[in-house]
Chains A and B, each alone.
Chain A
Amino acid sequence: MNQLRGRKNTVLICDDDEGIVDITKMILQEKGYQVETVLNSFDIYSKIKQHKPDLILLDLWMPNLRGEEIIESLKKDKDTNKIPVIVLSAYRHTASVSRKCGADDFITKPFDINDLEKIVKKYLK
């Protein structure tokens, strides 16, 4: 729908590691996505409200709010529960935690940038 209006798909990246945010941003911008970033998990809700992203890439293990708590609350809220959330984490239990909290998909760090592109494309056709 967004694309029909000529607007680029927006991806919101939430990770406390600047390098990862930088890389993901670079790769996805290259692919033509609008990219918004948030380093502090506290700010994620206001960013979502502000940018209405089409996809969220989210780290699990962050200071302050934990990723799984964010996903659970996003999936409960009817304004946000349609937004696909992909977990991006180096946590050893990434797969099981992602499934449990209702994330749509996950990718483990360190990831291959080709895999990142593929998984984003899968949710933003």
Chain B
Amino acid sequence: MKYNSALKTMDAYKLITDNATDAYFLVNQKGRIVYVNKSTCDLLLFKPEELINKNIKRIVSELNKKKYTGLFTNTRQGFNFPFETIIKRKDEETIMVELQTTNIRMKDEIFVFMSAHDITKRKISEEKINQLLRITENQRRQLDLIIDNVPGMVWMTSGKAVAQTHKFVFVSNHVEKILGFSVSEWLDMPNFLHNIHHEDRERVEKEYANILDQKKSGVIRFRRKRKNSEYIWVESHAKVILDNQGIAVGMCGVLMDISKLKELEERRDEFISIISHELKTPLTSIKGYSQILERMMQKSANSKINRLLLKMNVYVNKLDNLIIDLLQVSKMQSGKLAFNYEKIKFDELVKECVNDIKEIAIGYNIEQHGKTNKIVIADRNRLEQVFANLLANAIKYSPNMNKIIIKVSSNEQHVIVGIQDFGIGVPPEDQKNVFERFYRARNTTRNFSGLGIGLFISSEIIKRHGGHMWVDSKEGEGSTFYFTLPIVSPKLKLP
């Protein structure tokens, strides 16, 4: 009975150990395995008889034998703790396990009971996580390095549609260099529009609001106060940050110190001013002498000399206009060009401009199509300049054709003007750039003189009027330059 119950107990323990998921094995003092459970065999691909009576070293990885032996000694002396180690399957594949060792005394003999928990999968995912963490850490370090080396203050704000409510949530170390504040001082500022010069503040606020509204990016120039209370010119490049639903949740960008650039711009303006003055002075004499000569010759009625003098005057005026254009470009750049707005019957203005150009464009057939019956608010002289420039271009760039069409129409908001020539056209790759300052289409630089400022001035004038200018062209077939101007009610009173 006693024996039976002991046997039953033994069977019960065997049942338990064989159904355990961890590998259990028992090692005697000589290091020989005396017992293995089913999981041990499953884990290591051995049959029980292949392990029983074999040295424990059979399954301990070569790499870990030394460490293992030491710990085995410790265990024998009564230590009992889990450690991670590598064991070897029958096929020499290694497995990471957590090994728990315990001293067991049975009769007079001491055994070491070992329980091995397979942690290979855990180890692999741990290793993956560590690897990811290392990569992330490396990337973060790289990003920090890049951000710190951007020659400007990298920033990020958080806030909804209204710019005033935005707060800085990130700013790079460069803030100290540009504005004299430390990163933490800057992040403590009450809102994102602080320290902007009072003359610029309203405009800047509007421009940021526009970026948020339109969910786009933009460049804004303004003056910002440094920690030492001095104002510097900065240029802020900003881009809206959208969430998953496409809602604006902030902005990010770079802010750069452009005081040097501003200084250069001022010096350039001053330089252009001096140059134009110095060029105009001798030009005055040339023009004066040629006019005096012209008068003297009219009396003598020498038609050839008169014709030459007349031509000379045309070129003198051309030179004068070039100098005026040059001055206008620099004024436009610094926003100093003044406009005198008035209400204008648009059709009358077109008629005047077309008549003016007809007088000069002898041999050209200039047709006008359409009518608007609309009123616009515009600076008459500047608009005449736009017409003169577009018509002069139409003539200049269609040397072999003599037809120019001026199309005038309107919709609810705008009058639309198109000036069409049948000349060399603008290559597709140049079409978006022809309105830039000093830009010239590739097919014009060799055979046509010019500075590349006429279209820049014209499109800037139209922009200042609230309209816009674009080109529709096919190389070799001609171009149509369009512009729009907003229509106003005839009842509107000018301030």
What residues on B are CB-neighbors of A76 within 8 Å? Answer: none
What is the CA–CA distance of A61 and B292 in the complex, to the nearest angstrom?
25
Q: At the interface, yes or no: A118 with Cβ under 8 Å from chain B?
A: no
What residues on A are CB-neighbors of B280 within 8 Å? Answer: 90, 109-110
What residues on A are CB-neighbors of B283 within 8 Å? Answer: 109-110
Q: At the interface, yes or no: B276 with Cβ under 8 Å from chain A?
A: yes
Contact B292 A110 (CB under 8 A): no
What is the CA–CA distance of A19 and B283 in the complex, to the nearest angstrom?
10
Q: At the interface, yes or no: A70 with Cβ under 8 Å from chain B?
A: no
Contact A110 B284 (CB under 8 A): yes
Known: A110-B316, A113-B288. A17 touches B277 (CB 8 A): no
Contact A92 B282 (CB under 8 A): no
Q: At the interface, yes or no: B287 with Cβ under 8 Å from chain A?
A: yes
Contact B276 A19 (CB under 8 A): no
Nearest CB of chain A from residue B288's CB, rounded to whole Å: 4
Q: Which of B236-282 contact A (CB under 8 A)?
A: 273, 276-277, 280-282
What residues on B are CB-neighbors of A19 within 8 Å? Answer: 282, 284-285, 288-289
What residues on A are CB-neighbors of B286 within 8 Å? Answer: 110
What is the CA–CA distance of A17 and B280 in the complex, to the nearest angstrom?
11
Segment among A2-10, A20-28, A49-57 that sits at the interface with chain B: A20-28
Q: Report which of A27, A61, A91, A111 forms a contact with B284, defined as CB distance below 8 A.
A: A111
Q: At the interface, yes or no: A69 with Cβ under 8 Å from chain B?
A: no
Q: At the interface, yes or no: A112 with Cβ under 8 Å from chain B?
A: yes
What residues on B are CB-neighbors of A112 within 8 Å? Answer: 287, 291
What residues on B are CB-neighbors of A111 within 8 Å? Answer: 284, 287-288
What is the CA–CA distance of A9 and B295 in the complex, to the nearest angstrom?
23
Q: Report which of B277, B291, B295, B316 forms a contact with A90, defined as CB distance below 8 A.
A: B277
Scoring A19, A26, A90 by chain B CB atoms within 10 A of each residue's CB, the highest score goes to: A90
What residues on A are CB-neighbors of B357 within 8 Å? Answer: none
Closest to A89 in B: B277
Q: At the interface, yes or no: B18 with Cβ under 8 Å from chain A?
A: no
What is the CA–CA distance of A26 and B288 in the complex, to the nearest angstrom?
10
Q: Beyond A17-B282, A92-B327, A110-B284: 18 further Cβ-contacts under 8 Å?
A: A17-B284, A19-B284, A19-B285, A19-B288, A20-B285, A20-B288, A23-B289, A24-B288, A27-B292, A90-B276, A91-B277, A92-B273, A92-B277, A110-B283, A110-B286, A110-B316, A111-B284, A112-B291
Q: Which 3 A-B pairs have the closest CB atoms?
A: A19-B285, A23-B288, A90-B280
Subset of 30 A-B contacts with CB under 8 Å:
A17-B284, A17-B285, A19-B284, A19-B285, A19-B289, A20-B281, A20-B284, A20-B285, A20-B288, A23-B284, A23-B288, A23-B292, A27-B288, A90-B276, A90-B284, A91-B277, A92-B273, A92-B276, A92-B277, A92-B327, A109-B284, A110-B280, A110-B283, A110-B287, A110-B288, A110-B320, A111-B284, A111-B287, A112-B287, A113-B291
